[in-house]
Amino acid sequence: MKKSKGTILAAAISAIALGVAGAVSAAAGPDPVKARNDAMEDVGRAFKKIAAIAKKQAKFDAAVVKTNSEIVAAKLTACLTLFPPGSETGSVKSLAKPECFSDAAGLAAGLKASAAAAEGLSKVTDEAAFLPAFKAAGDSCKGCHDKYRVPKK
């Protein structure tokens, strides 16, 4: 009886300790897996608005291109800090391949190049220059997902 009381006490203490630790890490910053997924989803949404022009579902509008490619560039740049070592798993399912961590430099270079392509796209003012700049940005998404992301399902 005595022993089991001790066990319960120890369990309670460690539960509190874990709770405190959990609170501390939550305060230190949100889950990077969730953060980068949210950022990538924002990138995807913004990029689709520009894609509608390429697919001829919307008329060319330099303002739409500018606003959305700036979001793409900013969010991809933000992703640079969202693949810290040890963030292979998180509160949501990660699609990051092990290469994101074993070849962090390659991933960072890819993110920077993609952000640069999006910046280039944001400066496009005429329709003739749009499609090549758009394709350059889109190819950078495709190339990185080929190397660094696993399929969702």
Partner 1 sequence: MSIGKAAAATGGLLLAAGVVAAWILSAPSPGVTAVPEGKADLANGETLYHAGSCLACHRPADGAAMTEPALPSGGAPFKTPVGTFFPQNLTPDPETGIGRWSAADFVNAMTRGLSPAGTHYFPAFPYTSYRFVRTEDLLDLRGYLRSLPPVRSAARKADVPLLGIARRGVGLWKRLALREGGFRPDPARGPAWNRGAYLVNGPGHCAECHTPRNLLMVMQPARGFAGAKHPAGEGQVPSLRGLVARGKYKDVADLALALQNGETFGYEHLSSGGMAAIQTNLGLLPESDAGAIAEYLASLQ
CA–CA separation, 26 and 61 (whole Å): 42
Q: How many CB atoms lie within 10 A of CB 102?
A: 9
55 interacts with, out of partner 1, ligand HEC, none, CB within 5 to 8 A per kind: partner 1
Is residue 139 part of the contact set for ligand HEC (CB under 6 A)? no
Cα 49 from chain centre: 18
Is residue 138 part of the contact set for partner 1 (CB under 8 A)? yes
**Could you give the C-alpha distances from 62 to 43, 52, 69, 76, 133, in angstroms and in order?**
18, 13, 10, 21, 13
* Contact letters for partner 1, residues 54-73 (x by CB under 8 A): xx------------------
Residues that contact partner 1, how many (by CB under 8 A)? 22
Only one of the segments 16-24, 29-37, 100-108, 133-141 lies at the binding site for partner 1 (rule: CB under 8 A); that segment is 133-141
The set of residues, in sequence order, having a beta carbon less than 8 Å from that of 32 and lying 6+ positions away, is 82, 83, 84, 87, 90
Is residue 141 part of the contact set for partner 1 (CB under 8 A)? yes
Region 35-54 residues binding partner 1, contact defined as CB under 8 A:
44, 47-48, 50-51, 54
CA–CA separation, 24 and 131 (whole Å): 48
* Contact letters for partner 1, residues 81-100 (x by CB under 8 A): --------------x-x---
Please tell me the chain's helix, strand, coil percentages from 3-state DSSP, rounded to the nearest 5. Answer: 75, 0, 25
List contacts with partner 1 (CB under 8 A). 44, 47-48, 50-51, 54-55, 95, 97, 135, 138-139, 141-143, 145-146, 149-153
